[in-house]
Amino acid sequence: MRETLQLLIYGVQLGVIYALIALGYTMVYGIINLINFAHGDLVMIGAFVAYFAAELLGANFPLAIFLAMLIPACLSVAIERLAYRPLRDKPRLSALITAIGVSIFLENFPRMLPFIGPNYRPFPMLIPFKNFTLPTGAVLNSIQIVNILVSVALMVALTYIVHRTKVGRAMRAVSFNKDAASLMGINVNRIIAVTFFLGAALAGAGGVLYSMTYPMIDVLMGIWLGTKAFIAAVLGGIGSVPGAMLGGLIMGICEVVATALYSELGYGSGFVILILILLFRPAGLLGKVKIEKV
Amino acid sequence: MDTLRKYLPILGLAAFYVLVMALRKAGVLTSYYVQILMFAMINCMVTLGLNLINGFTGQFSIGQAGFVAVGGYTSAAVTTLLLPSSVLVPALRPLVFLVSVFIGGIVAGIFGYLIGKPSLRLKGDYLAIVTLAFGEIIRSLIRLIPQVGGPRGFSGIPRYSNLLWIVLFFGGTIWVLRNYIYSSFGRACIACREDELAAGTMGVDTTKYKVMAFTIGSAIAGVAGGLLAHLLGYLHPDQFNYLKSIDFLVYLYAGGAGSMTGSIMGATLLTILPEMLRFLSGWRLVIYGIALVFLMLFRPQGIYGGKELPFLIPKIRRPEGYEGGQ
Amino acid sequence: MKRNLLLSLCALLVVTLFGGMAFAADQIKIGVVAPITGQNAIGGQYIKNGVELAVKEFAPDGLEVGGKKYEVKVIFEDNENKPDITANAFRKLIDQNEVVAIVGPDASSTSLAGGPIAQTAEVPVVTTFATNPKVTQVGDYIFRACFIDPFQGSVMAKYVMENLKATKAAILYNNGNDFSKGLTEFFKQSFEAMGGKVVALEAYGGSDIRDFNAQLNNIKASDAEVLYLPNAFFETGLQMNQARKAGITVPFVGGDGWDSPDLPKIAAGAEEGAAFTAAFSHEAQRPEVQAFVEKYKENYGTVPNSNAVLSYEATAIVLKGLKDAGKVEGPALRDAIAAIDIDLPSGKIKFDENRNPQKAAVIMQFTGGNTTYVTTINP
């Protein structure tokens, strides 16, 4: 019992971070059908922003996470404007290649900057660390609690924006049918920019939470994390916001449990689960199968 | 004229080989350049195979490195573990090498079939995800096989590959693909790409052609893997991670999907480019990333998208009195 | 458009063909292959420093070989820590730059890919940190500056048994990394041969993994008395950090991958008292060591780590070899290196018949965020 609960805690803590990052993938894919390869690197940028905010400005946790959401979000809007928008009516995959190009740039350019460089840096403790022992014997720590609370709050906020606000309604409309939405007077370019903004803000927050849990950052940290989150998005049904949340949680928990059972192959477990789910539910857990009309 | 056109690619490759060898002998080309050329041709093969899947059939596979790994490890296992060069008379070695490369291709093809069959029933980017996952699973499995070195890598592979072999296989790949693409099979593939629903209505068994294209593309990647293994003499599972697959995607789309010329150009240029940028040291990949973005912004269809050098299109025989268009 | 494209292609080709053909007669060119980009880029920085320092010291204003003064030119090539790029880097150095010897690379996997090329071209290679025994078995032109996995594994097993008096060990290792896997195997072998028992053997899949909670949970549940972490310093820092947070209290031990001033920063105090094997200690009182550390600090502002020392030593071996050979050519240099006898920071270096250096290992310990020297163990 202690074991199971303990593993569950580890899994959920990892899963909520995957979910935050997966949301950005799923929103961008839902709206312009682009696998945004540079998304993982925005996670890294978020982590670095928080690092510098804390080290240079002495920022506390709320300020650091705010900046870490704001700056990648603006960067993401700029990237969309410069590298993706000109290609929107071009073959779908050319935007994918610019995304890869942007990703290579984001990974390598900071490495050449003298104040960032290739080093692994310790990430500062933004909140005090404390262990709490639960009645069952499992241990829960303060960082895990903050992770889960912040992630859940952000996801609730996002769900509110998507379902209860005008912008959210416009986002859903654009993702459903761009041309029709534009005919209804929706500024499609602006809505797509908003989507990139929101997705990157969540990625930045994910970057901070991830770096607090595993307190080390470097310029390549986004690659693998991004891939995992992307897989989580697909698992939940790419294009679906609740799907990304569920997918992230499942990925996190499965990975931790599989690693505990057989660590030699644990890290590949996410992929195996993905293949199994896609075989039975091709559109992912909460994805809708699009019916094609002629 | 027709005969000339038919044999032009073969003559071209032969001339290319002779030219390279002559320059090599004259000391203009060092083995450094020859090695880059060999890597470029191997990358071309993988990209051409990927082009059949992504460019001509309109599917989206992003795990090609996994098939290169399967082919490379399989053929290296044949020449290193099963029939090591020490037990062979020298005359037999090229034969064993040839057979091993084909076995590598066949095994990669079988893997391709097994993966393609269930996932190609679906539309959309699912193949992408499944192939990505496959690549990573293969990599973690190879690490657990001590006979092929596990995480220490597979060393001591006889270095049988040379320019001649690679040119031959490269030419063979072009020949096979050219004939395939301009056959009724190829037309069925292109039909799937253009409109799967319409193709199905016209009686094209879309799943069959998609699986076939995927299997052939994977087999070609496997053959390229076999050549790579015997060129490097060493394989490491991390060589085939998903970043490597992304490289092939970049070669394909930068060169231009749906064009064999494009694949060859993309793979060749982008294999050579990072080597040429060596003098930039750490800035190399920064420039590479920017170059990629600009290339796509100014030529979204890729360098040679949709077009083809004439000698890569076989002459189509028309029945007597045929007057229609292409 | 089409014509322009073909034209630019031709231009590219011409540039590639004739670039880098310039050549000077009284230069000795030494190639260095190291990761300048990619996952190990930080190691590359230390290697660069080490090599430059060695040249500054052993050939301050050129090197006299066979009565003739040569300028020493070092050419760095990036290998991105990838085998195929390493093969290209080796080819370029050998064919384009016509180097007389190659220092590096720093990993077994890349050394195994580059080795055969240098062997056929008869260019001696001194790898810095390739610890897999197979590396030098490629051929008689391949040497290494570090000691090999089996030695390091058995040294640590002995230390755990005798000094820590522990008989039950847990191991957490990177099963995608040859260095980590090698140390694990040899540690386990020696430890069990001495009567110890490995009670938990947990793996993870690569350097990009940051979450070790599941493995540590299993280790916590075992009755291990010591935790062996034969991993790179940045992975180890996180592992120690997470282990202490998860409530694991047993001491940590590890290998020379730990030797970096960044480890204690990442581990944030969790490393206190942890001991590891290394080729060199900047605290050892031998004058060669102190002189080296002083010089390194003076030039680069930090204390050197194993990467820096090993690349310094590898370069020193090549330069001394050239002097001894009296000729600037591969085969003579090879023979000179094989017979070398030189005093370096990590001790007197001589190569055995497998071209592995006979050098002692030191045990180091983290105290108060710094490494301190514990003891030296001779082979």
Cβ contacts of A95 on chain B, cutoff 8 Å: 296
Question: Domains of chain B by range and CATH?
Answer: 2-312 (1.10.3470)
Verify whether the Cβ–Cβ distance C268 to A125 is below 8 Å.
yes
A98 interfacial to chain B (CB closer than 8 Å):
yes
pLDDT in tens, A178-189: 999 999 999 999
C8 interfacial to chain B (CB closer than 8 Å):
no
Which of A172-181, B297-306, C315-324 is predicted with the least confidence, judged by mean pLDDT? B297-306
* pLDDT number for residue B324: 46
B93 interfacial to chain C (CB closer than 8 Å):
no
| d(C-alpha C196, C-alpha C193), whole Å | 7
* pLDDT number for residue B322: 57
pLDDT in tens, A10-37: 999 999 999 999 999 999 998 988 889 8
- Confidence label for C23 from pLDDT (cuts 50, 70 and 90): very low
Nearest residue of C to residue A110, measured between CA atoms: C37
| d(C-alpha B133, C-alpha A207), whole Å | 24
SS (H, E, C) chain C: CHHHHHHHHHHHHHHHHHCCCCCCCCEEEEEEEECCCCCCHHHHHHHHHHHHHHHHHHCECEEEECCEEEEEEEEEEECCCCHHHHHHHHHHHHHHCCCCEEECCCCHHHHHHHHHHHHHHCCCEEECCCCCHHHHHHCCCEEECCCCHHHHHHHHHHHHHHCCCCCEEEEEEECCCHHHHHHHHHHHHHHHHCCCEEEEEEEECCCCCCCCHHHHHHHHHCCCCEEEECCCHHHHHHHHHHHHHCCCCCCEEECHHHCCCHHHHHHCCCCCCCEEEECCCCCCCCHHHHHHHHHHHHHHCCCCCHHHHHHHHHHHHHHHHHHHHCCCCHHHHHHHHHCCCEEECCEEECECCCCCECCCEEEEEEECCEEEEEEEECC
Verify whether the Cβ–Cβ distance C84 to B144 is below 8 Å.
no
* pLDDT number for residue A149: 95
Residue C7: pLDDT above 70?
no
Verify whether the Cβ–Cβ distance C175 to B144 is below 8 Å.
yes
Percentage of chain C lying above the pLDDT 90 cut: 54
Residue ranges per structural domain of chain C? 28-147+289-359, 149-278
Give C285→chain B minimum CA distance, Å.
36
C220 class by beta-carbon count within 10 Å (0-12 exposed, 13-18 middle, 19+ buried): buried
Give B59→chain C minimum CA distance, Å.
28
Mutation target for B interface from A238, A271, A292: give the one with most B CBs within 10 A: A271
CB B215, CB B112: distance < 8 Å? yes
- Confidence label for B301 from pLDDT (cuts 50, 70 and 90): confident
* Domain boundaries C149-278, corresponding CATH code: 3.40.50.2300
A142 interfacial to chain C (CB closer than 8 Å):
no
Residue C8: pLDDT above 80?
no
pLDDT tens series, chain A, 294 aa: 568 899 999 999 999 999 999 999 999 998 988 889 899 999 999 999 999 999 999 989 999 999 999 999 999 999 999 999 999 888 878 888 899 999 999 999 998 888 888 888 999 989 999 999 888 888 899 999 999 999 999 999 999 999 999 999 999 999 989 999 999 999 999 999 999 999 999 999 999 999 999 999 999 999 989 989 998 998 898 888 999 999 999 999 999 999 999 888 877 788 888 888 887 887 888 887 665 555
Determine phi and psi for A148, rounding to 5 degrees: -65, -45
Residue C20: pLDDT above 70?
no
B168 interfacial to chain A (CB closer than 8 Å):
no
* pLDDT number for residue A2: 65
**Mean local confidence (pLDDT), C262-267:** 90
**Mean local confidence (pLDDT), B138-150:** 88
**Mean local confidence (pLDDT), C159-178:** 92
Verify whether the Cβ–Cβ distance B133 to A94 is below 8 Å.
no
B302 interfacial to chain A (CB closer than 8 Å):
yes
A124 interfacial to chain C (CB closer than 8 Å):
no
Residue B204: pLDDT above 60?
yes
Q: Calculate helix-pair angle for A188-213, A142-164, nearest 10 degrees.
A: 170
Beta-bridge partners for C198:
C169
SS (H, E, C) A212-278: HHCCEECCCHHHHHHHHHHHHHHHHCCCCHHHHHHHHHHHHHHHHHHHHHCCCCHHHHHHHHHHHHH
- With b for 16 or more beta-carbon neighbours within 10 A and e for fewer, the B228-252 pattern comes to bbbbbbbbbbbbbbbebbbbbbbbb
Cβ contacts of C12 on chain B, cutoff 8 Å: 269, 272, 276
Residue whose token pair is 């995927």? B214
Look up residue A206 and give its two tokens: 């994910």
Cβ contacts of A271 on chain B, cutoff 8 Å: 132-134, 136-137
Residue ranges per structural domain of chain A? 2-280
- Confidence label for C86 from pLDDT (cuts 50, 70 and 90): very high
Cβ contacts of C205 on chain B, cutoff 8 Å: 140
CB B67, CB B85: distance < 8 Å? no
Q: Which of A120, A121, A256 sits opposite C214 (nearest CB)?
A: A256
C207 or C38, which is more confident: C207
| d(C-alpha A262, C-alpha A241), whole Å | 31
* pLDDT number for residue B70: 97
Given 3.40.190, 3.50.50, 3.20.20, 1.10.3470, which CATH number is that of A2-280? 1.10.3470
| d(C-alpha A179, C-alpha A89), whole Å | 12
- Confidence label for B28 from pLDDT (cuts 50, 70 and 90): confident
Give A15→chain C minimum CA distance, Å.
11
* Domain boundaries C28-147+289-359, corresponding CATH code: 3.40.50.2300
Domain C28-147+289-359 and domain C149-278, same fold? Reply is yes
Residues 6+ positions from A42 with CB-CB distance below 8 Å: A24, A72, A75, A76, A106, A200, A203, A204, A207, A222
Verify whether the Cβ–Cβ distance B276 to C91 is below 8 Å.
no
Q: How are beta strands C142-144 and C125-127 bridged, if at all?
A: parallel
A265 interfacial to chain B (CB closer than 8 Å):
yes
CA gyration radius, chain C: 22
Residue C21: pLDDT above 50?
no
A275 interfacial to chain B (CB closer than 8 Å):
yes
* pLDDT number for residue B124: 65
Give C248→chain A minimum CA distance, Å.
12
* pLDDT number for residue B205: 92
Beta-bridge partners for C74:
C30
Element (H, E) at B154: strand B154-155
* pLDDT number for residue A289: 67
**Mean local confidence (pLDDT), B302-311:** 78
Residue B291: pLDDT above 60?
yes
Phi-psi region of C323 (alpha: psi -120 to 50; beta: other; left: phi over 0): alpha
Cβ contacts of B125 on chain A, cutoff 8 Å: 35, 238
The listed range with the strongest mean pLDDT (B242-246, C155-159, C283-287) is C155-159
Nearest residue of A to residue C44, measured between CA atoms: A118
Nearest residue of B to residue A294, measured between CA atoms: B197
**Mean local confidence (pLDDT), B14-38:** 90
Cβ contacts of B36 on chain C, cutoff 8 Å: 88, 91
Element (H, E) at A141: strand A139-141
Verify whether the Cβ–Cβ distance C96 to B155 is below 8 Å.
no
* pLDDT number for residue C22: 42
**Mean local confidence (pLDDT), B198-221:** 94
Residue C69: pLDDT above 50?
yes
- Confidence label for C53 from pLDDT (cuts 50, 70 and 90): very high
CA gyration radius, chain A: 19
Residue B4: pLDDT above 90?
no
Verify whether the Cβ–Cβ distance C237 to A267 is below 8 Å.
no
* pLDDT number for residue C17: 46
* pLDDT number for residue C100: 94
CB B45, CB B206: distance < 8 Å? no
Give A290→chain B minimum CA distance, Å.
10
